[in-house]
């Protein structure tokens, strides 16, 4: 089965082609980061408008990459949710219309299931069951993945997601967007031990997260160290970035270890945009070695939003017999635990 995958949940337009026999055939992503950087975050209306401009040319490019035509497609999968409503409508509308014209099925899939399954595109994919740390700008969750489509949330953020905390703090310090990448870059030049940062909710039992207090703590540090020009000295900003990154990474590592121990599992999957953070990968790799577990990642380009993960997730569900009407349907709010088990 040859499936076209379309991702438009936020500020990346992603299109990919996946073949159930030969694997990933083509993948293209257009990032809108330069459009939203002046605003310090995603502007929904601008995101939707740019998806409209870019999605059809990207589909043409992906098909051209492998010398195929739309008539060579067997199905289309698209991100149904969660995400920005206007952005989701663009992908859903294009997918449903194209499927109708080609008389092939279209299936809306869950954005976070796509992230969770992204490591399946690698040469050494994980096998169920495993714990997944889904960590991005919109989500920070620990999920017990028992089988395709059978997911149980065992921990999540009570307020800000880790990626959201990175973005908001980067904006406070006058850094670019997306904030996670900028903070990680600056952290390389900073002293992580200069300032004290809390490790939220690691001093009590449980698997939930909270990053709003850490954000407030960092904002106070920035204000306390302001110099002429309205910002701290660049060296101080680097030190704050290093300490903040270490605090968030330590928190994610502690909770991931707890999840493995609580669920009695030895496989950990890291997915979502923050999964590309080099310091997080380093510390998680060291942690699993210490406890005899294994960690799985998607390659960096598949940690951020992309069409490949949507094509793969949709293909698995279509092969399991799942189907849907061609009506345009989105779910901006859609807990992953509400998904159906594939084949049911």
Residues 291 and 145 grouped into a single domain: yes
Q: What is the mean pLDDT of the chain?
A: 95
Q: Are residues 258 and 137 in the same domain?
A: yes
Distance from the Cα of residue 201 to its chain's centroid: 23
Note whether 71 and 209 are same-domain residues: no
Whether 25 and 169 map to the same domain: the answer is no
Note whether residue 323 is domain-resident: yes
Rounding to the nearest 10 degrees, give the CA dihedral for residues 301, 304, 306, 308.
Answer: 60
Task: Decide: residue 50, CB within 10 A, 0-12 exposed, 13-18 middle, 19+ buried.
Answer: buried
d(CA 167, CA 244): 12
Looking up residue 283, the CATH number of its domain turns out to be: 3.30.420.40
Domain that holds residue 317: 2-117+302-338
The pLDDT of residue 37: 84
Check residue 178 and give its pLDDT.
85
Residues 134 and 277 in one domain: yes
φ and ψ at 8, to 5 degrees? Answer: -145, 40
| Within-domain flag for 344 | no
Whole-prediction pTM? 0.94
Q: What is the mean pLDDT of residues 8-35?
A: 97
Do 102 and 40 sit in the same domain of this protein? yes
Sheet holding 75-81, edge to edge: 23-31, 12-19, 2-7, 75-81, 106-110
One domain for residues 221 and 334? no
Query: 48: closest CA among 115, 100, 94, 110?
Result: 94
Q: Are residues 87 and 60 part of one domain?
A: yes
Task: Tell me if 215 sits within 8 A of 169, measured CB to CB.
Answer: yes
In a domain, 181, yes or no: yes
Q: For residue range 188-232, what is the model confidence (pLDDT) as tens digits?
A: 999 999 999 999 999 999 999 999 999 999 999 999 999 877 899
Contacts of 292 (CB under 8 A, 6+ apart): 266
- Percent of the chain at pLDDT above 90? 90
**Whole-angstrom distance, CA of residue 329 vs CA of residue 193:** 49
Residue 284 lies in a domain: yes
Name the band, by pLDDT with cuts 50, 70 and 90, for residue 343. Answer: low
Q: Count structural domains, the chain.
A: 2
Provide the CB-side half-sphere exposure for 253 (13 A, CA).
21
């Amino acid at each position: 089965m040859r499936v076209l995958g379309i991702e438009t949940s936020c500020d990346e337009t992603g299109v990919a082609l996946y073949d159930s026999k030969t694997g990933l055939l083509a993948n293209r992503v257009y990032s809108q980061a330069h459009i939203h950087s002046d605003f310090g975050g995603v502007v929904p209306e601008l995101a939707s408008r740019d998806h409209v401009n870019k999605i059809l040319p990207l589909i043409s490019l992906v098909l051209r990459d492998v010398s195929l035509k739309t008539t060579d497609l067997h199905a289309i999968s698209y991100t149904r949710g969660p995400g920005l409503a206007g952005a989701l409508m663009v992908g859903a509308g294009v997918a449903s219309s194209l499927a109708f014209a080609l008389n092939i099925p279209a299936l809306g899939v869950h954005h976070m299931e796509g992230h969770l399954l992204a490591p399946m595109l690698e040469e050494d994919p994980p096998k169920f069951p495993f714990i997944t740390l889904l960590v991005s700008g919109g989500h920070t969750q620990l999920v017990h993945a028992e089988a395709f489509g059978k997911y149980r949330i065992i921990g999540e953020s009570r307020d800000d997601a880790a990626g959201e905390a990175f973005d908001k703090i980067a904006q406070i310090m006058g850094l670019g967007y997306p904030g996670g990448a900028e903070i990680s870059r600056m952290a390389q030049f900073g002293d992580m031990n200069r300032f004290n940062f809390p490790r939220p909710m690691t001093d009590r039992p449980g698997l939930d997260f909270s990053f709003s207090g850490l954000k407030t703590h960092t904002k106070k540090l920035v204000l306390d160290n302001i110099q002429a020009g309205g910002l701290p000295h660049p060296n101080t900003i680097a030190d704050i970035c290093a300490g903040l990154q270490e605090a968030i990474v330590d928190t994610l590592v502690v909770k991931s270890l707890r999840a493995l121990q609580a669920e009695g599992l030895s496989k950990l999957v890291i997915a979502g945009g923050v999964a590309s953070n080099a310091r997080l990968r380093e510390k998680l790799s060291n942690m699993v070695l210490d406890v005899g577990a294994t960690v799985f990642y998607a390659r960096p380009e598949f940690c951020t939003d992309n069409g490949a993960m949507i094509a793969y997730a949709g293909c698995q569900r279509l092969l399991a017999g799942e189907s849907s009407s061609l009506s345009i349907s989105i779910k901006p709010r859609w807990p992953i635990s509400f998904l159906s088990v594939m084949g049911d």
